[in-house]
Every structure is written in C-alpha cells, then in structure tokens.
Amino acid sequence: MRYRVAIGALAAALIVGATGAFAQIPGVGSVPGVGSLPLSKDALLAKAKEMVSDLTSMKSSGKLAADQVKQVDTLLPKANSLTSELAKPQVEASRLPQLASDVSDLQKQVGTLKSFMK
C-alpha cells in the first residue's frame, strides 16, 4: 500500500515538474490561435487601434477592388467594436483570451487585405 502511495506521489511530482518546464517554453500553454499575441489590455488596445487606422486608410486609398472594399467595410465595425471594448476602464481578465483571439483573427484578415495593396 505504501509503495503505491509513494509511486503516486512520485508520478504527481513528475507531472507538476514537467508542466512547469513546459510553461517556460514559448508558445506552449498559450491560448490556441493567439500565437505570441500578448494578453495585456494595453497591447491589445494598441493593436486594435492600429487595425482601425489601417482599415480606414485602405478604404480611402482607392487601391482595393470592390469586393475587397466590401471586406474592409465588414472588418471596420469589428475593429471599432474591439477598440471600444478594450478602451473601457475595466475589462474582465477572463475576457482577455477571447479578445486576444478576436484581435489575432482580425489581424490575419487585415494582413491579407494589406497584401492586395502592394
């Protein structure tokens, strides 16, 4: 009986130790789909504001096709909504991973549109 308890304690210690080691590896244990996007409210707000600015300049540039302008028109309200939510004085910490995921998804779409501008 004591042998099983000792083995169980050893296994638990190894699992906890391994989890701690994996937490030190960049990208392991992070929010899926977010990549290296920081979870600080200020960093997310800065990225959201940058996307609003990028989308606004893309829309007025005249360098996009009509279907791409429609996509900008769809993404701009989403970026404004994210910016508004992140600009609130209090954002629940439990919402940050979802907001970070939303910012990341939007960044990918904005990046695709930017590639059409070159």
Q: What is the pLDDT of residues 9-36, one digit of tens each?
A: 555 555 655 444 444 444 444 444 444 5
Q: Report the pLDDT value the prediction gives residue 116, as an integer from 0 to 100.
A: 84
pLDDT of the residue at 71: 95
The parent domain of residue 26 ranges over 1-30
Which pTM was predicted? 0.66
Note whether 81 and 47 are same-domain residues: yes
Rounded-to-10 torsion of CA 38, 39, 41, 46 = 20
Q: How confident is the model at residue 8 (pLDDT cuts 50, 70, 90)?
A: low
Whether 45 and 60 map to the same domain: the answer is: yes
Are both 26 and 43 inside the same structural domain? no
Whether residues 55 and 83 share a domain: the answer is yes
Task: Indicate whether 88 and 62 sit together in one domain.
Answer: yes
Give the start-end residues of each E strand in the chain.
none
Residue with tokens 């009986």: 1
Q: Say yes or no: 2 and 37 in one domain.
A: no
The reported pLDDT for the residue numbered 34 is: 43
Q: Is the domain of 9 the same as that of 37?
A: no
Count of structural domains, the chain:
2
Contact 79, 52 (CB under 8 A): yes
40 and 78 belong to one structural domain: yes
CA 34/CA 72 separation, integer angstroms: 22
Q: How far apart are CA 113 and CA 98, in angstroms?
A: 23
User: Which of 103, 98, 87, 97 has its CA nearest to residue 51?
Assistant: 103
What CA–CA distance (Å, rounded) separates 23 from 57?
Answer: 39
